[in-house]
């Protein structure tokens, strides 16, 4: 998660001088963690140092501090109240600092190595371009750099892609603050946008684009220079391709869900009706059997009454 509000949030970060946390150093990284997270801290450090390059960017040089919170209470204290509730980790680019949850994080926190890679990508992008990238690009780039392809799964079940269409890239920024469900869609769309942008140059990806962006300080001019297309043209391409790729899947998923709900409602009703019809049929059969027996008894009685008497004998 991008820490673009780092100045405000950093006021909430406590000093670690009185804390019992340990510091583990390696390369340009320092991991700060408590004993309970020592093994996790070493895994994070190994992961960070072994894969310290990011797509289209030069190798980062800034020193990075990674703080592992031992529990949810201290995680919230360290990131501040301005951060969203669903965040598993927060990057503070201006300080080159990351705060993430430790071993006691919930299952929704995700793979800590992937989460760390995501946050490190934020720091690497900030080191090269400062505050130039908008929120959608920051999140999309970090997601793509971390290989979070599963984020796009949410698009395959989002019927809003068909009924309401995709938001603009500018409007996408505000979607990150609209709650967890809306943010999931925003992350997925941002991921797709950055992947689509990089695919415009299969050989160099984002390399030239980042160079032009740094030189011109303009996103539109960088897109024009690197890919020969306007930013608005790219946006139309991204919206069209995303809707075409995932819109049909969303409709299919929506129909599948509707069918499942319909079956869940109708199957019990069908069994109830079948049971009621079976009972009604059993009742009709019993009535027919009783009526048939009554007719047989009546016919037999009529036959007995109609049987001729033998003639009287003559003397």
- The pLDDT profile of the chain, 315 residues, written as one tens digit per residue, is 554 444 444 444 444 443 578 999 999 999 999 999 999 999 999 999 999 999 999 999 999 999 999 988 899 889 887 666 667 899 999 999 999 999 888 777 889 999 999 999 999 999 999 999 999 999 999 999 999 988 877 776 555 554 556 788 988 888 888 777 788 888 999 999 999 999 999 999 999 999 999 999 999 999 999 999 999 999 999 988 887 777 654 333 333 334 344 445 556 665 666 677 677 766 766 676 676 777 766 766 666 666 565 555 454
CB of 130 closer than 8 Å to CB of 138:
no
Give kind and range of the element (H or E) at residue 24.
Answer: strand 22-26
Other C-beta atoms closer than 10 Å to the C-beta of 252 total 13
Same domain, 66 and 144: no
- Domain shared by 112 and 146, yes or no: no
Boundary of a domain, candidates 244, 262, 280: 262
310: in domain: no
Count of beta carbons in the 10 Å neighbourhood of residue 264: 9
Range of the domain at 250: 132-262
Radius of gyration (Cα) for the chain, nearest Å?
35
Instruction: State how far the Cα of 55 lies from the Cα of 145, in Å rounded to an integer.
Output: 7
Residues 124 and 94 in one domain: yes
Q: What is the rounded distance in angstroms from the CA atom of residue 164 to the CA atom of residue 159?
A: 8
Both 251 and 140 in a single domain? yes
pLDDT of res. 267:
62
Q: What share of the chain is helix, strand, coil (3-state, %, to 5)?
A: 65, 10, 30
End-of-domain residue from the set 77, 97, 129: 129
Q: How far apart are CA 48 and CA 140, in angstroms?
A: 20
The C-alpha angle 38, 40, 44, rounded to 5 degrees, equals 115
Which CATH number covers residue 41? 3.40.30
On whether residue 57 sits in a domain, the answer given is: yes
156 and 71 together in one domain:
no
- Residue 24 β-bridge partners: 31
Q: Do residues 105 and 152 both lie within one domain? A: no
Q: Please tell me whether residues 34 and 157 are part of one structural domain.
A: no
Q: Which residues of 80-99 are buried (b: 16+ CB within 10 A; e: fewer)?
A: beebeeebbbbbbbebbbbb
Is pTM beyond 0.75? Reply is no
Structurally, how many domains does the chain consist of?
Answer: 2
Instruction: Tell me: do 82 and 160 sit in the same domain.
Output: no
């Amino acid at each position: 998660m991008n820490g673009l509000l780092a100045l405000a949030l950093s006021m909430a970060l406590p000093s670690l001088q009185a804390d019992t946390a340990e510091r583990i150093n390696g390369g340009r990284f320092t991991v700060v963690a408590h004993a309970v997270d020592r093994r996790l801290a070493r895994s994070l450090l190994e992961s960070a140092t072994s894969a310290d390059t990011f797509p289209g960017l030069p190798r980062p040089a800034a020193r990075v501090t990674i703080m592992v919170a031992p529990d949810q209470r201290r995680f919230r204290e360290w990131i501040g109240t301005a951060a969203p509730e669903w965040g598993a980790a927060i990057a503070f680019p201006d300080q080159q600092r990351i705060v993430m949850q430790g071993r006691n994080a919930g299952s929704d926190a995700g793979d800590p190595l992937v989460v760390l890679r995501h946050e490190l990508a934020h720091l690497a992008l900030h080191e090269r371009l400062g505050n130039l990238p908008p929120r959608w690009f920051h999140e999309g780039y970090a997601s793509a750099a971390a290989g979070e392809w599963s984020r796009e799964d949410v698009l395959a079940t989002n019927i809003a892609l068909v009924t309401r269409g995709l938001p603009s890239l500018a409007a996408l920024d505000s979607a990150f603050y609209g709650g967890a469900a809306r943010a999931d869609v925003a992350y997925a769309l941002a991921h797709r946008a950055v992947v689509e942008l990089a695919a415009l140059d299969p050989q160099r990806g984002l390399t030239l684009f980042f160079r032009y962006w740094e030189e011109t300080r303009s996103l539109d001019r960088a897109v024009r220079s690197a890919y020969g297309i306007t930013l608005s043209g790219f946006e139309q391409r991204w919206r069209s391709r995303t809707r075409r790729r995932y819109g049909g899947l969303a409709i299919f998923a929506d129909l599948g869900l509707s069918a499942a709900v319909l079956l869940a409602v109708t199957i019990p009703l069908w069994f109830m009706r079948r049971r009621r019809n079976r009972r009604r049929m059993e009742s009709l059969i019993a009535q027919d059997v009783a009526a048939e027996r009554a007719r047989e008894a009546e016919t037999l009685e009529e036959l007995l009454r109609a049987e001729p008497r033998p003639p009287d004998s003559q003397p």
